[in-house]
Structure 1
Amino acid sequence: MRFDTLASVATLIVSASAHSTFQQLWINGVDAGSSCLRTAANNNPIGTSGGDLACNVHSRSPNVCTIKPGDKVTVEMHQQPGQRSCANEGIGGNHFGPVLVYMASVSDATTADARSAGWFKVSELGLVSRNPQYFGSQVLNDNCGHYTFTVPDIAPGNYLIRAEVIALHVASGSGGAQHYPACFQVNVAGSGTARPPTVRFPGAYSNSDPGILINIYQSLSTYRVPGPTPYGYVAPTIANTAYPRTPTWNTALQPAAVPMTTPAPGATGIAGGA
C-alpha cells in the first residue's frame, strides 16, 4: 500500500496533542513506573541537532533501578504526563518512524550529564513491513506504548537508558524529523566485561541521514534506522506481508497508577513484551 495520498494531509496535521514522552519502565514484568525516570519537562520533540537530544529537557531522579544482563526491560510511552491508559495511542498523530534504545555507562546515574555520555544502541525497530508499510512506532502503539528489549552482557555499573521514537511524518524536508527521547537511571549488576563503542548526542545523527531525511509516503523497499548498529541484537528483516497487529504486551493488565518506588532486584511480574 502506498502512503502518497496521505502526504499532504499528514504534513498539515502536526498538533501538540500528538506529542509524547517515555514515562514508565518495567523490569522482567515488574512495574517500576517513573521511579528512576529523568522526567521530561514537556512532551515536545527535539530536533536532530538539538542540544537536549540525549535525554530531552529533564529533571533527574534520586532513584536508580537495578537490572542485569538478560533481563527483559520495557519502556512505556504515552502522550500526556502520568498517562497509562491503553485507550490512547502511545504516540498518535500518524507519527510513524523507528523505535530505538541506547545505553550509556556513567559513574553516577543520578548526576551524570547525558550530553557528555557515550551511548551505544541495544535495540531498534524500524520499518517492519513494506506491504503495507508499517513502522516500529505503530508496533509500539499496538502494545499500549510498550517496547521491550533485552539487556546485553555488558560490564556492571551505573548506566542511563535512552528510549527514543523518531517521527518521520514531516521528514521529507531537512530538519523535519521529530525526536522523542527520554532517559532512565539504572545500575547493571552481574559480571560482564563488554564496553561497546559509543556515540554522542547530539552528533550521532545528521539531518541528511537517509533514515532521517526521508519521504515515508512513497513506496519504501527498505529503511535504514539512524545511528550505529545495535550491540548484541539483530533487528528483524522487513516483511513482505502485513505485520501482525495482535498485542504481545498484556494490555488487560495495564495499571492505572504510576509507582514511584523502585522494585526489588530480581523480582518478576506479569509476562509480556513488545
Structure 2
Amino acid sequence: MASLKTLSVLALSAALANAHGHVSQIVADGVTYVGAIPHSVDPASPGWPANNQDNGFVEPAAFSSPDIVCHKGATASAAYAKVAAGGTVTVTWNTWPESHLGPVIDYLARCEPDCASANKASLSFAKIQESGLSGGTWAVDTLMANGNKWDIKIPSNVAPGKYVLRHEIIALHSGGQANGAQAYPQCINLEITGSGSVTPQGEPATAFYTPTDPGILFDLYKPDLVYPIPGPDLWRV
C-alpha cells in the first residue's frame, strides 16, 4: 500500500499538472470574447484552439516545431476580435500557479488573405511587447496581481488588416535544467482598424528560441538575477 507521504506527493504532482492555464477571455476595444479554450471550437472565438486540455506546455525540445507557434496542434480560428491601432487587447488567464515565474511576451503577424487559411509555421511574427524581471518582480507576478489579466498595446502605426496576435508566458521554475523551461503560447485573430501604414516585419515563431538560449536555460533561484528576455528584438519602425 502506498504511504501517506507517497500519496501526498502524487496528489501534489497531479494538482500542479492541472494548474497551468490558458487564455479564457479576450477584451478588445471594450468588447469581450471567449478565449482560446483548449481543443474546443467556438465559432465566435478569435482564439486558436489547441490540444492542451491538460493546460500543458511546449518544451524546449519542440521549439523548432509548429507546436511553438500557437500551442500543441493549434488550428486557426475563423473569427476576429476587432481593435483599433493604438488600442488595447486584454487577455485573462483562467488560472496561473505562483511558482511558474517568467516573462510575458507578445508578437503580431499579418495573415493574408485571412487568418483562417494561414499556415502558422509561415507567419512572420514581430515582437511588439515584452516584460521580464524588474526590481525583483517578474512579469507573471504582475499578471497574477492584476487578476491574471495582461494588457497588450497594439502599435498605433500598424496598417489595417487581419493579424494573428501571439501571446506567451514562459515559465522558468525548472528552467535551470536542460529542457526544463515551459512555453505557453496562445494565438488570437485580430482585425486591426485605423489609418496606420506599417506592416510589422518579423520571423517565424519556430526560429524564436533555442533550448540553450540564456533566457530559456535559466536558473531563477540564483541570487542577484539579471534576466535576458529571449527571442528577437522588439519591433521598431
CA offset digits 1:225-267 (Å, max 9, x no partner): 111222359xxxxxxxxxxxxxxxxxxxxxxxxxxxxxxxxxx
1:64 aligns with 2:80: yes
Aligned to 1:149: 152
Change beyond 3 A, Cα 1:164–1:129: same
Letter in 2 for 1:138: D
- Alignment partners' CA distance in 1, 2:200 and 2:61: 23
Q: Is the 8 A contact 1:49 1:203 kept in 2?
A: no
- Alignment partners' CA distance in 2, 1:58 and 1:24: 17
- RCO greater where, 1 or 2, for CA within 8 Å and sep 6 or more? 1
- Alignment partners' CA distance in 2, 1:94 and 1:13: 13
Number of corresponding residues: 209
**Within-5 A mapping of 1:76-95:** 76-78=92-94, 90-92=95-97, 94-95=99-100
Aligned to 2:68: 53
1:129 aligns with 2:139: no
Q: Shift of the alpha carbon at 1:170?
A: 0.3
Q: What TM-score do the two structures reach when normalised by structure 1?
A: 0.71
CA offset digits 1:108-165 (Å, max 9, x no partner): 11221211111011111100222xxx21111111112110021012122111011100
Aligned to 2:9: none
DSSP 3-state at the match of 1:76: strand
- Alignment partners' CA distance in 2, 1:115 and 1:220: 37
DSSP 3-state at the match of 1:37: coil
- Alignment partners' CA distance in 2, 1:115 and 1:211: 22
Q: Shift of the alpha carbon at 1:93?
A: 5.1
Q: Is the 8 A contact 1:22 1:163 kept in 2?
A: no
Q: Is the 8 A contact 2:110 2:200 kept in 1?
A: no
Identity, % of aligned positions: 31
Q: Is the 8 A contact 1:74 1:148 kept in 2?
A: yes
Change beyond 3 A, Cα 1:196–1:61: closer
1:75 aligns with 2:91: yes
- Alignment partners' CA distance in 1, 2:199 and 2:193: 14
- Alignment partners' CA distance in 1, 2:148 and 2:159: 29
- Alignment partners' CA distance in 2, 1:136 and 1:95: 11
Q: CA RMSD in A?
A: 2.1
**Within-5 A mapping of 1:194-273:** 194-231=198-235
Runs of 4+ in 1 over 4 A off after TM superposition: none
Aligned to 2:124: 118
Q: Is the 8 A contact 1:158 1:187 kept in 2?
A: yes
> Structure 1 regions of 5+ residues with no counterpart?
1-11, 79-89, 234-274
Residue 106 of structure 2 is aligned with which of 101, 104, 111? 101
- Alignment partners' CA distance in 1, 2:56 and 2:227: 25
Which one has a larger percent helix, Structure 1 or Structure 2?
A: 2
Aligned to 2:51: 41
Q: Shift of the alpha carbon at 1:30?
A: 2.8
CA offset digits 1:8-45 (Å, max 9, x no partner): xxxx9683122211232111333223321112222110
Aligned to 1:21: 22
